[in-house]
Structure 1
């Protein structure tokens, strides 16, 4: 088994799509439902398949991001350049943090239009892609 993608319910699909494309996602496909539901499937250009779905269900009531979801983590190669690009695109990354100490990952955060938190992660030089059991030894 493997995780395919996360799906977020969003209030305004166009506004959220603008945010996530500014973050670097590309549209992989769209699905229109008969009840007004619209889905947009996204991926980063270097990813082989979908990694995020935006779900707009106008009849489902307000979006509540405080009901258990914490954050989405996104790995970046060059954090300084990514933060500059995001700022130029009108997004507001938060302050740089070092949750693993000065030699660990660098992680600023940002928040999407519905309040979903996103954590950008730059691993230290030589760290493999992703988080593994070795990160907890």
Structure 2
């Protein structure tokens, strides 16, 4: 297993992009998520794939510092095996989803005791680790 990227909900996307690009991040791509919501995927220039996602949902109002964290994504080798292991440990994950269709990634979600969401991701065979420019072609 390995961490894929961290996702933060932000109140002002332009202000956040100014900050993170000043820090050294570069924009990899954007996704329009509907209802004015946008996702911007970032990475450091030396990284082969995304490491940070900024989530802007204007309809949700300002971000509360206590709830600004959106989710943590973790790459797994085989989602089915991982879910079996988690189940044996007493952790219940949600059913497997196919957000990119039948040939896309497989995902499942967990919620920690505080309510933070964790996305488990198994990439399809041949897909590079993480999110790359090819995912936005």
Structure 2 length as normaliser, TM-score?
0.52
Higher relative contact order (CA 8 A, sep 6+): 2
1:97 lines up with 2:100 in the alignment: no
* Aligned-CA RMSD value: 2.0
d(CA) in 2 for partners of 1:94 and 1:124?
Answer: 19
> How far off its partner does 1:136 sit?
1.2
> What are the Cα deviations for residues 35-59 of structure 1, in whole angstroms up to 9, with x where unaligned?
xxxxxxxxxxxxxxxxxxxxxxxxx
Tell me what 1:124 maps to.
Answer: 124
1:114 lines up with 2:107 in the alignment: no
Tell me what 1:56 maps to.
Answer: none
d(CA) in 1 for partners of 2:89 and 2:71?
Answer: 21
> How far off its partner does 1:68 sit?
2.3
Q: Which runs of 4+ in 1 moved over 4 A?
A: none
SS at match of 2:104: coil
d(CA) in 2 for partners of 1:100 and 1:88?
Answer: 28
**Whose strand fraction is larger, Structure 1's or Structure 2's?**
2
**Which runs of 5 or more residues in structure 2 are unaligned?**
7-63
**Which runs of 5 or more residues in structure 1 are unaligned?**
7-63
> What are the Cα deviations for residues 12-51 of structure 1, in whole angstroms up to 9, with x where unaligned?
xxxxxxxxxxxxxxxxxxxxxxxxxxxxxxxxxxxxxxxx
